[in-house]
Amino acid sequence: MASDNNNKKKLTVSLLDYGAGNVRSVRNAIISCGYSIIDITNPSQIAQADVIIFPGVGSYHSAMTVLQSRGYDNALRDYLASNKPYLGICLGMQTLFESSEETVGNPLPGLGVIPGKVIKFDETKRSVPHIGWNGTIQHQKSPAMRYISERNEEVYFVHSYYAPITTENSQWVLTRTSYEGQEYISSVQKGNVVATQFHPEKSGKVGLNFIKGFLEVSSFCFNICISCAQLCTTQL
C-alpha cells in the first residue's frame, strides 16, 4: 500500500515577477527545494494559486504602479485576506504596509495588510543604502524557521527604506534587525502570510533553509485543504 507521503500532492509555486528585475536566484532557490514554478501573468491566477512568492525588487512606487495597472493589487488583497501561503521578499514585504516614503508625485497606498509606513534610513546618521550581511533577532516561533538555529544568523540585505516596529504592527514581527543603531522589521508573519526584508535567495544556506521551511509547511497546509476541500485556515 502506498505511504501517506506518496499520496501527497506537490504544490506548485506561483511566482509574481512584475518585470522590475532579475529573479533568477529566487527561481533557482525554489527549484532546488524541489518545487515547480508557474509565472503569474494574469490577476485571475492569483486566487487559484497554491502559494505565492513575490520577490519584489526596485522601488516601492514602481512596484505599486505595476500592481495597480495590471489589476494585481486587489487580487493580492483578496488572496492575503484568505490566509493562503504567501512569501514576500524585500519589496514583497514593503508593499504589504499601508504606505511608503519611496514615492514619486502623488503617494500610492500599499496593500494595507500591515499597519505602518515604510520610511527611509537617516542618511545623516548611517550609510545608505544598507548593503551586506546582518543578523536577525527572532520575535516569535515559526515553522518556516524550523531549519534555522535561534542564534543570531546573518542574512543578506539591500535596501534604503525600512519598516519601523510600532505598537500597531508588533504582532506581525517575526524578526528584527539593527543597522548602525536603527532597529527595524526584518521579517513578518501572521497566519500563512510571511515576508522578509532580507533576501533569502542571496543568503546562502540560511536563506535556502528559510525558503525550504516555508514551502514545506505550505505543502502541509495545501494537502490538508485538498483532503477537507476547503480554504486553508491552518497557520504556519
Residues with active-site annotation: 90, 199, 201
Structure letter (DSSP) for residue 229:
T
The rounded distance, in Å, linking the Cα atoms of 118 and 111 is 12
Distances in Å between the alpha carbon of 124 and those of 104, 118, 121, 159, 180? Answer: 22, 18, 9, 16, 12
Helices H / strands E in the chain, number of each: 7, 13
From 170, 158, 141, 152, select the one nearest 201 (Cα to Cα).
Answer: 158
The rounded distance, in Å, linking the Cα atoms of 84 and 193 is 7
